[in-house]
């Protein structure tokens, strides 16, 4: 089994800003406010959380090939 990565770089689709964030291991994050342009990000259709939609790394449950939230 591969080691789960717990940090992901979120890229804002509005302004292109990037910020490294810690991912929760026991919950999905459904909303994220860009600290640069203040856009409120929500998951794209078909994705479980903002990390799967805008992150450089998928959330921990998806990395482990488990059902997410």
1 has a pLDDT exceeding 60: no
Complete DSSP assignment for 2-69: PPPP-EEEEE-TTT--EEEEEPPSSS----EE-TTT--EE-PPTT-SSHHHHHBSS--HHHHTT----
- Model confidence, pTM: 0.90
Q: For the chain, which residues make up each domain, given as ranges?
A: 7-57
Give the tens place of pLDDT for each residue, 4-42: 999 999 999 999 999 999 999 878 899 999 999 999 999
């Amino acid at each position: 089994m591969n080691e789960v990565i717990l940090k992901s770089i979120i890229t804002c689709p509005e302004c292109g800003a990037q910020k490294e964030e810690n991912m929760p291991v026991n919950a999905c994050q459904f909303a994220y406010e860009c600290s640069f342009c203040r856009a409120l990000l929500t998951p794209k259709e078909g994705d479980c959380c903002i990390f799967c939609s805008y992150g450089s790394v998928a959330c921990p449950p998806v990395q482990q090939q488990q059902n997410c939230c």
